[in-house]
Amino acid sequence: MTESRPGDAFQPGDLLNNTYRIEELLGRGGTSEVYRARSEISGRLAALKVLKAEFSRNEDYLVLLTREEEIREIRHDAVVRYSENHRTQDGLVYLVMDFVDGPGLDRKLKQGPMPADDVLVVCRRVIEGLRAAHDRNIVHRDLSPDNIILRGGQPDQAVIID
């Protein structure tokens, strides 16, 4: 978990679109922040990726976010599922995606070397996910260990995010 700051787009407890209750900030990037939220309707956990305010009105960044939303057409367990996007009353744009519970591959690797068999399993899963994306003419432009989550800590449940 990343500590919340007063300048963050959302704070724990905020309710978005009368549906998503922010639980915690998961991480910050150069253009966006990612939050764990829970649907007040279904109880389902979701991850919300919000463009920082300075990018939410920039057409170039909105185009990139729209492309990212196209990932919702991919139906593969190794690729995170996106469901929708919204704009807050303040003009912030955010994507709603499945919450994948587990460590990032980057964090796992910082703990020490992984067994070769586990690395191969992760590689196979990532290749399968990339193949599904490429079949839809979608290219992941930032594939790195921090964009691969091991659902439940399991190499055979690796999921490509972002």
Which residues are marked as active site?
Answer: 142
Amino acid at 68: E
5 Cβ neighbours under 8 A, 6+ residues apart: none
110 Cβ neighbours under 8 A, 6+ residues apart: none
Mark 28-64 as b/e (b = at least 16 C-beta within 10 Å): eeebbbbbbbbeeeeeeebbbbbbbeebbeeeebbee
Contact 69, 128 (CB under 8 A): no
Tokens encoding 23:
């639980």
Compute and round to an integer the Cα radius of gyration of the chain: 16
Smallest CA-to-CA distance from 97 within 115, 80, 113, 109 is with 80
